[in-house]
Amino acid sequence: MYILGISAYYHDSAASLVKNGDIVVAVQEERFSRKKHDSRFPINAIRYTLKSQNIDLRDIEMIVYYEKPLLTFERLLETYLAVAPRGLRSFIAAMQVWLKEKLFLKSELNRKFKSLQKELVPNTKPHIPKFLFSEHHLSHAAAAYYPSPFDESVILCMDGVGEWATTSTWVGRKNEINPLWEISFPHSLGLLYSAFTYYCGFKVNSGEYKLMGLAPYGEPKYTKLIKDNLIDIKEDGTFKLDISYFKYHRGFRMTSRKFHKLFGRLSRKGETELSQFHMDIAASIQAVTEEVVLKLARSLREETGVKNLCLAGGVALNCVANGVLLRENIFDNIWIQPASGDAGSSLGGALIGWHQYHQKERTPNPNDSMKGTYLGPEFNNDEVIKYLKKINAPFHTQNDQDLFDQLADELDKGHVIGWFNGPMEFGPRSLGARSIIGDPRNQKMQSTMNLKIKYRESFRPFAPSVLEEDVSNQFEMSVKSPYMLLVAPVKEELCKKMTYEQEKLFGIEKLNIPRSSLPAITHVDYSARVQTVNKTTNPRYYELINAFKGKTGCPAIVNTSFNVRGEPIVCTPQDAYRCFMRTEMDILVLQNQVLYKREQPKVEKDETWMQEFELD
């Protein structure tokens, strides 16, 4: 029995397919459309999920949409009525979208699926599976609990907002998920963090990561000001915002004049200089977020006595807060859904269809059921070779062992490699399927990768992929972190103390001073965003790092997403080749094919590789 889950129309549309309870495919629309955070109906993602299993809509038992649009509509109406006539312009803008596609979602979905089925199987009677509409936070909770390794767990979901809920708590037992309590809009930890993201000049819904990366440069000087004015945090972690400081409920902007007055300046315009003020603001809101998360976790542990915790919702991507939560040992075990934003809710929806609607038993997998989150499209050697021959790109085919030895050498020489391996990752992080890799010991790696490959000057260091069994030799952490969602301190003996003068340096200058024997992945506060690599989950990536360890003694490599600034992560060999040719990457590896930049033809306009190809 196949169940299809979809999330769409807000941000990060996605489709996920579950077969008899097993997660078989999950993919975001942006990877096909090449439009970052694409929120349109995920037609390409759905097409791919069906094609990958060789099925059409007649084989789908049920389609689950990840939320209840009418409840969201009710929130919009009620919120507008509470502040009217203020917020009229944003209300009208929202209504235009609602009247066009969201309000009559069921018939809209019906129409879309009918035409898809017509396209897939022409000349047959259209068969549309039944629709189920889950709830936004229930979908988050399901995406966190069902694939987790636990048979009983507390589930904490925190995001901007769903229908009404912004924070929700649940207990999962066997195949059931039951609600505990929730906090409703407009009181939202996700929106509070996004308001500060906006205030510091970053994009809401994607720049939160940058704000988190900025925090270690600052001092949490404004924590008290935030807590005295913006957010009232109770002992149990529940909270209330003073909504007069915000505008997200009644306008296009996130923060109000009162907010700007409180901090004594207007919001930063994107791309203008970041000052110490912004770094202190980032550190302060990070500290407040951690306080709320810790308090919520403590009260949930006390209230339920359950020893496992699952996290989901956009706030669960705050890997610094996750790391703090881990080190506090409030719960015995923590598991975080790698696609914890709304894309992952498509998966949550599909799993609700299986476990709740169909009441199917659940057997937790001791590792988890996400298959390393390698749930997207994959291309075998034959397909890669066919493509490379088509565009006349010179390449060398190598067997695995020679390839890994060769790549270990190239990494050691300081070369930057595009690594394309197996099924693509589901969720926002590259985890060794579509990654750009380098040597973390190399002092220049941070600026080389940023300026020559990613075309940005980032204040964020890169993240390490480390062999699972070596994690505690390199970092103050002894648990697995397969999805790069935990930040941990770099092992003290690997760290280098800063001189007084070096500590006084500003911003990126500070990052350029090596702080450890792994400078490319060590942040200014000696922390790193760790991914542990498991031998069975991603064997080829594991063997590659192991070969690097064999050559250099270092069990970690730099891993950054395979894309350039502003683009989604590459999906196909063609996306990867384009990215390779448009950047100063030295080597591209497509499964077992190695391409050297020096051997590639010079880039001319209208090169064949720039044209679209239909890949089989």
Residue 85: is the preceding peptide bond cis (ω within 30°)?
A: yes
Nearest distance from C-beta of residue 305 to Fe ion, angstroms:
28
Nearest distance from C-beta of residue 522 to Fe ion, angstroms:
32
Q: Name the segment binding Fe ion (CB under 5 A); options: 158-166, 489-497, 533-541, 569-577.
A: 158-166
Q: Name the segment binding Fe ion (CB under 5 A); options: 100-108, 341-349, 547-555, 559-567.
A: 341-349
- Tokens matching residue 148: 């987790």
Nearest distance from C-beta of residue 136 to Fe ion, angstroms:
6
Q: Name the segment binding Fe ion (CB under 5 A); options: 89-97, 169-177, 230-238, 334-342.
A: 334-342
Q: Name the segment binding Fe ion (CB under 5 A); options: 72-80, 104-112, 203-211, 340-348.
A: 340-348
What is the C-alpha radius of gyration for the chain, rounded to an integer number of angstroms?
24
Residues in the chain: 616
Q: Name the segment binding Fe ion (CB under 5 A); options: 337-345, 506-514, 523-531, 601-609.
A: 337-345
Whose Cβ is closer to Fe ion: residue 345's or residue 442's? 345
Nearest distance from C-beta of residue 2 to Fe ion, angstroms:
25
Whose Cβ is closer to Fe ion: residue 290's or residue 342's? 342
Whose Cβ is closer to Fe ion: residue 289's or residue 591's? 289
H/E stretch holding 560:
strand 556-561
* Listed residue (488, 455, 453) closest to 471, CA to CA: 488
Whose Cβ is closer to Fe ion: residue 160's or residue 507's? 160
Nearest distance from C-beta of residue 362 to Fe ion, angstroms:
23
Whose Cβ is closer to Fe ion: residue 342's or residue 439's? 342
Whose Cβ is closer to Fe ion: residue 137's or residue 441's? 137
Looking at residues 235 to 264 of the shown chain, list those that interact with Fe ion (rule: CB under 5 A). Answer: none
For residues 113 and 57, what is the distance between their CA atoms, to the nearest angstrom?
Answer: 8
Nearest distance from C-beta of residue 161 to Fe ion, angstroms:
7
Whose Cβ is closer to Fe ion: residue 159's or residue 290's? 159
Looking at residues 497 to 556 of the shown chain, list those that interact with Fe ion (rule: CB under 5 A). Answer: none
Nearest distance from C-beta of residue 442 to Fe ion, angstroms:
38
Nearest distance from C-beta of residue 314 to Fe ion, angstroms:
6
CB 423 within 8 A of CB 540: no
Whose Cβ is closer to Fe ion: residue 143's or residue 554's? 143
CA dihedral (418, 563, 32, 384) in degrees, to 10, reads: -10
CB 344 within 8 A of CB 351: no
Residue type, 219: E
Whose Cβ is closer to Fe ion: residue 220's or residue 348's? 348
Whose Cβ is closer to Fe ion: residue 134's or residue 538's? 134
Q: Name the segment binding Fe ion (CB under 5 A); options: 155-163, 230-238, 247-255, 403-411.
A: 155-163
For residues 52 and 384, what is the distance between their CA atoms, to the nearest angstrom?
Answer: 17
Whose Cβ is closer to Fe ion: residue 135's or residue 159's? 159
Q: Is residue 342 a contact point for Fe ion (CB under 5 A)?
A: yes
CB 80 within 8 A of CB 91: yes
Q: Is residue 163 a contact point for Fe ion (CB under 5 A)?
A: no
H/E stretch holding 597:
none
For residues 24 and 55, what is the distance between their CA atoms, to the nearest angstrom?
Answer: 13
Strand 2-7 relative to strand 60-65, pairing: parallel
Whose Cβ is closer to Fe ion: residue 188's or residue 458's? 188
Q: Name the segment binding Fe ion (CB under 5 A); options: 211-219, 342-350, 369-377, 406-414.
A: 342-350
Nearest distance from C-beta of residue 189 to Fe ion, angstroms:
12
Looking at residues 545 to 584 of the shown chain, list those that interact with Fe ion (rule: CB under 5 A). Answer: none
Q: What residues are paired with 263 via a beta bridge?
A: none
Q: Which residue is nearest to Fe ion (CB)?
A: 159
For residues 189 and 160, what is the distance between their CA atoms, to the nearest angstrom?
Answer: 7
Q: What residues are paired with 182 via a beta bridge?
A: 168
CB 442 within 8 A of CB 517: no
# residues contacting Fe ion (CB under 5 A) = 2
* Listed residue (5, 105, 138) closest to 60, CA to CA: 5
- Tokens matching residue 604: 């001319």
Nearest distance from C-beta of residue 140 to Fe ion, angstroms:
6
Nearest distance from C-beta of residue 130 to Fe ion, angstroms:
24
Which 3 state secondary structure label does DSSP give 27?
strand
Q: Is residue 159 a contact point for Fe ion (CB under 5 A)?
A: yes
Nearest distance from C-beta of residue 144 to Fe ion, angstroms:
12
* Listed residue (295, 565, 551) closest to 404, CA to CA: 551
Nearest distance from C-beta of residue 166 to Fe ion, angstroms:
9
Whose Cβ is closer to Fe ion: residue 162's or residue 507's? 162
Residue 573: is the preceding peptide bond cis (ω within 30°)?
A: no
Q: Is residue 208 a contact point for Fe ion (CB under 5 A)?
A: no
Nearest distance from C-beta of residue 162 to Fe ion, angstroms:
5
Which 3 state secondary structure label does DSSP give 63?
strand
For residues 204 and 191, what is the distance between their CA atoms, to the nearest angstrom?
Answer: 9
For residues 308 and 426, what is the distance between their CA atoms, to the nearest angstrom?
Answer: 24
Q: Is residue 38 a contact point for Fe ion (CB under 5 A)?
A: no
For residues 595 and 406, what is the distance between their CA atoms, to the nearest angstrom?
Answer: 12
Residue 527 per-residue DSSP state: E
For residues 30 and 569, what is the distance between their CA atoms, to the nearest angstrom?
Answer: 9
Residue 260 per-residue DSSP state: H
Number of H-type helices and E-type strands within the chain:
21, 21
- Per CB under 5 A, residues contacting Fe ion are 159, 342
